[in-house]
């Protein structure tokens, strides 16, 4: 997927109609690919990629086209990933393509639109034009530029003003072994009208030993005044997959973005959670959990831009690293001059289970207002020997004691998740990751 | 039940100072032994060495429980063999609920006895009557182990664990330190109610006052890593009156 190959791929793609869509779309794609050509793949000299080399992606042979062949999946194949209740609105994508048969077709409640992107280009071109490419910044980020150039499928989710959806909308992106060698540039737009309140979950999963593929996902979110959007990203792709996923949000006055990012998959994976606290009194609560093992390299970057007065941010990311894995956390907080009375708190805690595991944690605060309260803290530690002894002295075996303590480290951040089904799923994922056991109580 | 012969131990990691310099002590079923002594005498170390705390290294002697080599066992195996130490400083474990922690321990011990594990509901029944014993609210079950507990709550939690796990040999490591008189009474009553002809208790304490509530059959006084005097419960009163100073000088002679 070297840059020149991608540029040629784009010309082929454009010559074939650029995937269709409204008339403004191809010029947007072209602007994005031009920007990508100028930016190139990021190198460690780029401050945002200091600890992560994307060489395996840049020099991989991923083509920005759908796999030539793709098996049909049955509902039973994806059952394990479609946790939660049957009445949730659910869209399933296989190797980056929308699969209507696996998705819920029940009529949507009044006030909520959930549709695949191809349908949305036809039915909601003006809404898409207003936001797509305006929130996710392709001027600065090469992967977002690439996604914008090639975006082919994904979802449009719109919540009407004052609308409250009690059940989450669940997007499931499944990759199968057929995905090998391909890249999928999925794109999602979430628009929450003023005072709307809803939850969107994105799951990125692999099926049947899928490997050697690249997911480059971008989600744009627009939160109207007073809106609350809970966004959950569950990234449990294969340990032989490549993943870059970006959530970028613009927030209106008094809106609240509540994000949870779980990252346990990928040979090389990067999650970006970016938000612009534009409206006065808006806030972001960002939680994250990364669980790494083997040779994995998993990087999370968050960027919170306090651009309005009285904005707040709360951030807790936890990492558990085993094997020879390498984790990265970079938490950026920018406070613009007009963002007086900003209240920001950031915390990153890491637990190393092996001597070969490594983590780079980099809080990054840039404050240009003078009346603000911003704190950050980062820790890297090992399991507490005294706590292990305490558990063992009560009869709990050494292995079980280690597992319990490891799980407990993660539990604090999992408890912050609002939807009980998601919390249960996270508990199960976490316990399976390190204990091979079922969820305890 | 417990048979300690010439036990010697030091702080591990090489080059640590000897703390236990030859302890010999036998405890039979149904007995309560008090181990007293001034600061630094080794009484807490004795408790922790018996529980298998990795910070210590045994350099000589033997200790058996029901004839089995205690010192060869991992800490969890000692618990399975019926040993329980109430910690002087109970450890906080944020993120693990008391209910889950204690049920895991309970089930582990049951498994080693060939008994079936109990499910969370059955376990709740077991907990309810034991909570009353130490005057604790059931809401503590959902709280993290010892996290944010007051000193008294932590010690009561130790006794609660002891009540649930029903050890054959309980060692209370300075359980009374830092407790006000009400908490002390609750802890002592808990211990007394758990006394049975087939179990035994070692009470390690600096002060005589706990022994007003838990009446020992034997009192041993440690000084500089050795037992310098043993006697009945009246020895504790003598210590209360005279302090430890009168015992320390003849230590070498007694050993």
Tokens in use for B246?
């009168």
What is the reported pLDDT for A329? 98
Mean pLDDT of chain A: 93
Q: How many CB atoms lie within 10 A of CB A166?
A: 10
How far is residue A321's CA from residue A294's CA, in Å, rounded to a whole number?
Answer: 9
pLDDT > 90? residue A82: no
How far is residue B206's CA from residue B34's CA, in Å, rounded to a whole number?
Answer: 10
How far is residue B224's CA from residue B188's CA, in Å, rounded to a whole number?
Answer: 28
Q: Most B CBs within 10 Å: which of A384, A389, A394, as the mutation test of the B interface?
A: A394
The CA–CA distances, whole Å, from B194 to A43, B131, B162, B187 equal 67, 13, 9, 11
Of the candidates A389, A398, A400, the beta carbon closest to that of B104 is on A400
Chain B residue with minimal CA distance to A386?
A: B91
Contacts of A441 in chain B (CB under 8 A): 97, 99-100, 120
Greatest mean pLDDT among A284-298, A410-424, B15-29: A284-298
What is the reported pLDDT for A60? 83
Band of the pLDDT at A239, cuts 50, 70, 90? very high
What is the reported pLDDT for B179? 86
How far is residue A230's CA from residue A63's CA, in Å, rounded to a whole number?
Answer: 33
Q: Is B54's CB within 8 Å of A389's CB?
A: yes
Of the candidates B74, B87, B95, the beta carbon closest to that of A408 is on B95
Band of the pLDDT at A69, cuts 50, 70, 90? low
How distant is the Cα of A172 from the closest Cα of chain B, in angstroms?
30
Instruction: Report strand pairing: A268-277 vs A242-251.
Output: parallel
Q: Is A408's CB within 8 Å of B74's CB?
A: no
Tokens in use for B70?
């205690």
At A19, is the secondary structure helix, strand, or coil? coil
Q: Which of residues 401-430 of A touch B (CB under 8 A)?
A: 401, 404-405, 407-412
Q: What are phi and psi of A26, to 5 degrees?
A: -65, -40
Contacts of A409 in chain B (CB under 8 A): 95
At A260, is the secondary structure helix, strand, or coil? strand
Q: What would the pLDDT profile of A142-196 be if each residue is shown by its tens digit?
A: 999 999 999 989 999 999 999 999 899 999 999 999 999 999 999 999 999 999 9
Q: Is B161's CB within 8 Å of A411's CB?
A: no
What is the reported pLDDT for A62? 82
Reported as type and span, the H/E element at residue A405 is helix A398-414
Q: Please provide the size of chain B in residues.
A: 255
How far is residue A307's CA from residue A58's CA, in Å, rounded to a whole number?
Answer: 34
- CATH 3.40.50.620 assigned to domain B2-254? The reply is no
Q: Please provide the size of chain A in residues.
A: 441
**Exposure pattern of B184-201 as b/e (b: 16+ CB <10 Å)?**
bebbbbbbeebeeeebbb
What is the reported pLDDT for A438? 39
What is the reported pLDDT for B187? 86
What is the residue whose two structure tokens read 């719109």? A158
pLDDT > 70? residue A22: yes
pLDDT > 80? residue A375: yes
Contact B73, B135 (CB under 8 A): no
Q: How many CB atoms lie within 10 A of CB B150?
A: 10
Rg value, chain A, Cα: 21
Q: Is A391's CB within 8 Å of B105's CB?
A: yes
Residues of B with CB under 8 A from a CB of A: 51-54, 74-76, 78-80, 84-85, 87, 90-97, 99-102, 104-106, 108-109, 112, 120, 144, 161, 165
Tokens in use for A330?
């970079």
The CA–CA distances, whole Å, from A267 to A33, A65, A99, A299 equal 26, 21, 26, 11
Contacts of B94 in chain A (CB under 8 A): 408, 412
Contacts of B79 in chain A (CB under 8 A): 392-395
Contacts of B90 in chain A (CB under 8 A): 390
How distant is the Cα of B242 from the closest Cα of chain A, in angstroms?
36
What is the reported pLDDT for A1? 62
How far is residue A113's CA from residue A133's CA, in Å, rounded to a whole number?
Answer: 20
How far is residue A275's CA from residue A251's CA, in Å, rounded to a whole number?
Answer: 7
SS3 for chain B, per residue?
A: CEEEEEEEEEECCCCCCEEEEEEEEEECCCCEEEEECCCCCCHHHHHHHHHCCCCEEEEEEEEEECCEEHHHCCHHHHHHCCEEEECCCCCCEEEEEHHHHHHHHHHHHHHHCCCCCCCHHHHHHHHHHHHHHCCCCHHHHHCEECCCCCHHHHHHHHHHHHHHHCCCEEEEECCCCCCCHHHHHHHHHHHHHCCCCCCEEEEEECCCHHHHCCCCCEEEEEECCEEEEEECCHHHHHHHHHCCHHHHCCHHHHC
pLDDT > 70? residue A206: yes
Q: For each of chain B's 255 residues, which pLDDT tens digit applies?
A: 999 999 999 998 777 788 999 999 999 999 999 999 988 899 999 999 999 999 999 999 999 999 999 999 999 999 999 999 999 999 999 888 999 999 999 999 999 999 999 998 899 999 998 998 888 899 999 899 999 999 989 999 999 999 999 999 999 999 888 888 888 888 899 889 899 999 999 999 988 888 989 999 999 999 999 999 999 988 888 888 888 877 765 444 443
How far is residue A332's CA from residue A313's CA, in Å, rounded to a whole number?
Answer: 11
Q: DSSP label at A10? A: H
Q: How far apart are the first and last CA of chain A?
A: 46
pLDDT > 70? residue A326: yes
CB burial of residue B27 (10 Å; 0-12, 13-18, 19+): buried
What is the DSSP track for A130-195?
HHTTTSS-TTT-HHHHHHHHH--EEEEEEE-TT-B-SSPEEEEEEE-GGGTTBEE-EEEEEEE-TT
A16 touches chain B (CB under 8 A): no
Q: DSSP label at A265? A: -
Reported as type and span, the H/E element at residue A12 is helix A3-15
Of the candidates A400, A401, A411, the beta carbon closest to that of B95 is on A411
Q: How many CB atoms lie within 10 A of CB A7?
A: 14
The domains of chain B are located at: 2-254
Contact B28, B200 (CB under 8 A): yes
Contacts of A386 in chain B (CB under 8 A): 91
Of the candidates A385, A387, A395, the beta carbon closest to that of B165 is on A395
Contact B9, B52 (CB under 8 A): no
Pick from B146, B67, B66, B165: which is nearest to B108 by CA? Answer: B165
Rg value, chain B, Cα: 18
Pick from A68, A56, A66: which is nearest to A2 by CA? Answer: A56
Q: DSSP label at A415? A: T
């Amino acid at each position: 997927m070297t840059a020149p190959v991608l540029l040629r791929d784009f010309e082929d793609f454009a010559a074939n109609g650029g995937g269709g869509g409204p008339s403004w779309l191809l010029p947007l794609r072209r602007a994005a690919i031009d920007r990508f050509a100028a930016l190139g793949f990021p190198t460690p000299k780029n401050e945002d990629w200091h600890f992560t080399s994307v060489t395996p992606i840049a020099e991989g042979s991923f083509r920005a086209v759908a796999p030539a062949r793709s098996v049909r999946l049955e509902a039973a194949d994806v059952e394990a990933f479609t946790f939660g209740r049957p009445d949730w609105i659910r869209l399933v994508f296989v190797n980056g393509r929308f699969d209507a048969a696996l998705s819920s077709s029940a009529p949507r409640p009044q006030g909520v639109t959930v549709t695949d992107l191809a349908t949305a280009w036809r039915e909601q071109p003006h809404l898409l034009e207003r936001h797509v490419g305006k929130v996710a910044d392709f001027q600065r980020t090469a992967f977002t530029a690439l996604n914008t150039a090639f975006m082919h499928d994904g979802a449009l989710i719109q919540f009407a003003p004052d609308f409250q959806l009690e059940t989450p909308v669940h997007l499931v992106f499944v990759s199968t072994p057929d995905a090998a060698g391909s890249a999928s540039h999925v794109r999602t737009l979430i628009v929450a009208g003023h005072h709307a309140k809803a939850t969107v979950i994105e799951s990125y999963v692999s099926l049947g030993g899928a490997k050697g593929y690249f997911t480059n996902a971008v989600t744009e979110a627009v939160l109207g005044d007073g809106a609350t959007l809970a966004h959950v990203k569950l990234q449990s792709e294969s340990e032989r997959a490549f993943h870059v996923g970006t959530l970028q949000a613009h927030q209106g006055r008094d809106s609240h973005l509540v994000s949870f990012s779980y990252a346990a998959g990928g040979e090389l994976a990067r999650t970006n959670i970016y938000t612009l606290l534009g409206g006065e009194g808006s806030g972001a609560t960002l939680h994250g959990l990364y669980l790494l093992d083997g040779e994995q390299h998993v990087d999370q970057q968050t960027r919170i831009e306090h651009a309005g007065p009285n904005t707040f941010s709360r951030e807790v990311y936890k990492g558990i690293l085993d094997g020879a894995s390498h984790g990265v956390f970079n938490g950026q907080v920018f406070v613009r001059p007009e963002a007086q009375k900003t209240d920001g708190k950031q915390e990153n805690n890491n637990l190393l289970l092996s001597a070969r595991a490594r983590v780079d944690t980099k809080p990054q605060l840039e404050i240009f207002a003078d009346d603000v309260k911003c704190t950050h803290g980062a820790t890297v530690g090992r399991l507490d020997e005294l706590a292990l002894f305490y558990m063992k002295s009560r009869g709990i075996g050494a292995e079980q004691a280690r597992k319990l303590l490891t799980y407990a480290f993660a539990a604090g951040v999992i408890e912050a998740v609002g939807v009980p089904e998601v919390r249960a799923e996270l508990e199960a994922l976490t316990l399976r990751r390190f204990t091979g056991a079922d969820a305890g109580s | 039940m417990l048979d300690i012969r010439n036990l010697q131990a030091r702080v591990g990691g090489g080059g640590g100072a000897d703390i236990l310099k030859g302890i010999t002590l036998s405890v039979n079923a149904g007995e309560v032994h008090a181990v007293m002594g001034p600061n630094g005498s080794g009484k807490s170390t004795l408790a922790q060495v018996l529980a298998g705390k990795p910070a210590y290294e045994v350099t000589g002697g033997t200790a058996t429980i029901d004839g089995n080599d205690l010192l060869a066992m991992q800490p969890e195996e000692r618990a399975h063999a019926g040993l329980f130490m109430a910690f002087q400083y109970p450890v906080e474990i944020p993120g693990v609920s008391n209910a889950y922690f204690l049920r895991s321990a309970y089930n582990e011990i049951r498994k080693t006895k060939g008994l079936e594990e109990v499910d969370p509901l059955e376990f709740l029944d077991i907990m309810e009557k034991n909570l009353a014993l130490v005057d604790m609210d059931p809401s503590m079950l959902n709280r993290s182990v010892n996290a944010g507990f007051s000193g008294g709550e932590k010690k009561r939690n130790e006794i609660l664990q002891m009540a649930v796990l029903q050890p054959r040999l309980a060692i209370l490591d300075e359980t009374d330190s830092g407790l006000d008189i009400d908490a002390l009474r609750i802890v002592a009553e808990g211990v007394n109610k758990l006394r049975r002809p087939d179990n035994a208790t070692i009470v390690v304490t600096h002060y005589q006052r706990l022994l007003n509530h838990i009446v020992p059959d034997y009192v041993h006084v440690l000084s500089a890593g050795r037992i310098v005097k043993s006697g009945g419960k009246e020895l504790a009163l003598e210590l209360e009156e005279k302090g430890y100073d009168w015992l320390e000088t003849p230590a070498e002679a007694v050993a």
